């Protein structure tokens, strides 16, 4: 058994937590991945116990509440997981000299800009989820100024069947239409690239707020059409619609693309989609092989 202090990753069952586990494995970084039964980030005693048991050099907080529309009514839970949790982690890390990486969102912005939001732009959230994230940023950096807070957005990842790109591809392959907003603009983010860049920053002891997204600004409809074009599928299955027609409970900024004063650390959305499609094919080949062998 290794005696090196590990990286402690929260949110074992989530998209980001799993992606961190995979990239740590690929990069040979010692990591312990805990689900909410082993570490409830919003429970002070649970946080203290996990730190005492695993003695990590850093915590990656990949846990959180991401259901933006449900948060409008489920706000106690949203604030517990998105604000109280990161605050308790920051307090515990400050007391023990442990580094912390935690994640925030493009939804801290109100959408009034028409060029990508930078780290120094004024954050003014329109919904409960965005407010829970902004409060977390402030609480974490007040308690642990050397914490690394990464704002990111609109994940796509071949290992997660619920993200927008996966759902568009599945709909097209099934011959179904896919309605997508054509008046909401975001910076899509390829999760493996996000995780690699965030790990580099953590290892370099970067701190403060950093915007990390794949390069490019797309409406959801444009992103869907690009993914289909690159996959050789029929773009016509995308049905462009105004955001207002979806009846979302939470208000959303019409424009929340992120840029960075630190420079562009991730590749373009288009090149990431090509790698996404290659990784998807590899996963399918691996699972067919497993069925044959099994
Ligand atoms: N998805 C996106 O497009 C996106 C965009 C911008 C920012 N982010 C941020 O990225 C982070 C991860 O997002 P994700 O998409 O990976 O979310 P996800 O797939 O929904 O995973 C969230 C994880 O958090 C865990 N969790 C919830 N409450 C917890 C608690 N009290 N203690 C410990 N674990 C808890 C969940 O565990 P259980 O399921 O077992 O409760 C789950 O494993 C979040 O901070 C999110 O705000 C995501």
Query: Both tokens of residue 103?
Result: 């994640």
What spacing in Å lies between the alpha carbon of 273 and ligand 1's midpoint?
23
DSSP structural state of residue 245: G
Compute how many other C-beta atoms are within 10 angstroms of the C-beta atom of residue 233: 16
pLDDT of the residue at 286: 79
Instruction: Please write the tens of the pLDDT for every residue from 116-145.
Output: 999 999 999 999 999 999 999 999 999 999
pLDDT recorded at residue 288: 73
Residues with CB under 6 A from ligand 1: 10-17, 35-36, 39-42, 62-64, 66, 81, 85, 103, 105, 152-155
- Confirm if 10 and 62 have CB atoms less than 8 A apart: yes
Tell me how far apart the terminal alpha carbons of the chain are, to the nearest angstrom: 31
pLDDT at 229: 98
Please state the atom number of ligand 1 nearest to the C-alpha of residue 155: 3
**Complete domains list, the chain, with CATH:** 7-289 (3.40.50.720)
- Measured by CA distance, the residue closest to atom 24 of ligand 1 is 63
Cβ atoms 159, 15 nearer than 8 A? yes
Instruction: State which ligand 1 atom lies nearest to the alpha carbon of 85.
Output: 31
C-alpha 62 – ligand 1 centre gap (Å): 6
Q: Quick one: pLDDT at residue 1? A: 55
DSSP sequence for 35-61: -TTT--TT-HHHHHHHHHHH--SEEEE
Residues of the chain with pLDDT under 50: none
What is the reported pTM? 0.96
């Amino acid at each position: 058994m290794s005696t090196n202090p590990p990286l402690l990753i929260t949110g074992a069952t989530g998209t980001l937590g799993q992606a961190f586990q995979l990239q740590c494995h690929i990069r040979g970084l010692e990591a312990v991945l805990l689900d909410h039964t082993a570490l409830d980030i919003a429970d002070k005693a649970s946080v203290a116990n996990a730190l005492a048991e695993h003695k990590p050099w850093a915590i990656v907080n990949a846990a959180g509440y991401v259901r933006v529309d449900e948060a409008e009514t489920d706000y106690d839970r949203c604030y517990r997981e998105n604000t109280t949790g990161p605050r308790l982690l920051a307090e515990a890390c400050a007391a023990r000299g442990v580094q912390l990486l935690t994640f925030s969102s493009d939804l801290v912005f109100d959408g009034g800009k028409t060029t990508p939001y930078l780290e120094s732009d004024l954050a003014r959230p329109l919904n409960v989820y965005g407010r829970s994230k902004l409060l977390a940023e402030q609480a974490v950096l007040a308690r642990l100024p050397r914490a690394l807070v990464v704002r990111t957005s609109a994940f796509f990842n071949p290992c997660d069947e619920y993200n927008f790109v996966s759902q568009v591809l599945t709909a097209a392959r099934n011959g179904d239409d896919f309605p997508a907003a054509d008046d909401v603009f975001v910076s899509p983010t390829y999760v493996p690239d996000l995780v690699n860049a965030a790990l580099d920053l953590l290892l370099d002891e970067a701190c403060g707020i950093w915007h990390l997204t794949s390069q490019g600004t797309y409406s959801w409809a444009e992103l869907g059409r690009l993914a289909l074009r690159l996959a050789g599928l029929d773009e016509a299955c995308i049905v462009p619609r105004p955001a207002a027609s979806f009846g979302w409970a939470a208000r959303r900024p019409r424009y929340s693309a992120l840029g960075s004063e630190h420079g562009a650390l991730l590749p373009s959305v288009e090149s990431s989609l090509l790698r996404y499609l290659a990784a998807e094919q590899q996963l399918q080949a691996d699972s067919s092989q497993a069925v044959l062998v099994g």
